Amino acid sequence: MVSNPIIVAMDVAEVDEARRLSAELAPVVGAIKIGKELFVTSGPAIVRELRAAGANIFLDLKFHDIPNTVAKAVAAAVRLDVQMLTIHTSGGVDMMRAAEEAAQKEASHLGLPAPLLLGVTVLTSMDEANLRELGIERGLTDQVEHLADLAVKAGLRGLVCSPLEVPMLRKRLPKDFALVTPGIRPAGPGGDDQKRTMTPKEAIAAGSTWLVIGRPIYAAANPKAAAQAILASLA
Ligand code: C5P
C-alpha cells in the first residue's frame, strides 16, 4: 500500500477555498485532485500555487483528442510539475502511447520523475444503454476489460475505475499497475449521488492503490480530522 493513498478531490470553484483547504489538507493526504471546474476557474496558476505549498497534484482533466494534441497537453502538465493526470483510454492506443511517451520525455528533460498517467475506461455515469447508443455492443464489464487491455498495450501504468471493478481488473493487469478509485464513502452507502460505493478499507482490501475522496473530506465540519480518521481506518 502507498503510505498515504488518500487523494482529496478539490471540487470547489472558489480559489480562496481551494487555498484554505489545501493548506489544511496537504500535510495529511497523499495528493490533491484538481478537476475541470477549479482549473477552468483558476487555471495553471492554482496548480503551481498548490504544488508550491507542498501538495502532490493530480490534474484530472481527462484529455481526449488526437495523439499530437494530447501529447502536447500532457507535456504542458508535466511542466506544471503534476504527479498524476488523466486521459481517456477511448482515445485509442496511439493516443495513449503518445501521451505516455510525452510524459516520460518531458519529465526526463526537466529532471523530474515522470507523472503517473492514468487511463479512464468507461465513465461510471454510463450504463450499457449508453454504450449501445454509441454503437458499442460489448457489455459494460467487457468494455472496461477491453479498454484496460488497450491501456496496458499502450504502456500506461494506471487506470481510474470503480472500486467494484478492481477485483476483476486486478486479475488481468500487471502486478504493479495503479488503480485509482472514486466512489468511496467512509460512512457506508447513502447521502449523495454516488450509488455504487465502498468504504476506504474495503476499497484498499479489494486492491485499490489510491482512493479519490471528495465531499466526505472537503464538506466535513473538520476536513483535516475527516482525512486523518480515514487514514487511521486503513491502519
Ligand atoms: O465527492 P465525491 O467523493 O463523490 O467525489 C468523487 C470525485 O471523483 C469527483 O471529483 C468526481 O468527479 C470523481 N469521479 C467519480 N467517478 C468517476 C470518475 C471521477 O466520482 N467515475
148 part of a folded domain: yes
Using pLDDT thresholds of 50, 70 and 90, give the confidence band for residue 125.
Answer: confident
1 part of a folded domain: no
198 is in which domain, residue-wise?
6-233
- The whole-number pLDDT of residue 191 equals 67
- The whole-number pLDDT of residue 112 equals 96
Cβ atoms within 10 Å of 190's Cβ, excluding its own: 9
- The whole-number pLDDT of residue 1 equals 66
222 part of a folded domain: yes
Sign of CA dihedral 161, 208, 80, 21: positive
What predicted TM-score, i.e. pTM, was given to this entire model? 0.95
Q: Ligand 1: does its nearest atom lie under 6 Å from the Cβ of 181?
A: no
Distances (CA, A) of 31 to 7, 165, 184, 202: 5, 22, 16, 20
173 part of a folded domain: yes
- The whole-number pLDDT of residue 118 equals 98
Q: Ligand 1: does its nearest atom lie under 6 Å from the Cβ of 123?
A: yes
- The whole-number pLDDT of residue 17 equals 94
| Residue to mutate (ligand 1; options 194, 212, 215, 230; most atoms within 8 A of CB) | 212
Using pLDDT thresholds of 50, 70 and 90, give the confidence band for residue 13.
Answer: confident
Note the helical H segments in 122-221.
128-133, 140-153, 166-172, 200-206, 215-218
Q: Ligand 1: does its nearest atom lie under 6 Å from the Cβ of 182?
A: yes
C-alpha cell at 162: 470503480
DSSP letter, residue 92: -
Distance CA 100, CA 217 (A): 31
Question: Residue whose CA is closest, atom 10 of ligand 1?
Answer: 9
- Note if 175 is an active site residue: no
- Specify the CATH number for the domain of residue 187: 3.20.20.70
Question: Residue whose CA is closest, atom 20 of ligand 1?
Answer: 182
- The region that residue 127 occupies, defined by phi over 0 for left and psi between -120 and 50 for alpha, beta otherwise, is beta
Question: Which residue spans within 5-122 are E strands per DSSP?
Answer: 6-9, 31-34, 57-63, 84-88, 116-120
67 part of a folded domain: yes
Q: Cα of 109 to ligand 1 centre, how many Å?
A: 32
Question: Residue whose CA is closest, atom 3 of ligand 1?
Answer: 214
pLDDT tens sequence across 47-65: 999 999 889 999 999 999 9
64 part of a folded domain: yes
pLDDT tens sequence across 153-199: 999 999 999 999 999 999 999 999 999 999 999 988 766 777 778 99
Length of the chain: 235
Q: How many domains does the chain have?
A: 1
Distances (CA, A) of 134 to 90, 126, 146, 213: 12, 11, 16, 30
For the segment 20-47, the average pLDDT, to the nearest whole number, is 96
168 part of a folded domain: yes
Atom of ligand 1 nearest to the CA of 123: 21
139 part of a folded domain: yes
Q: Ligand 1: does its nearest atom lie under 6 Å from the Cβ of 223?
A: no
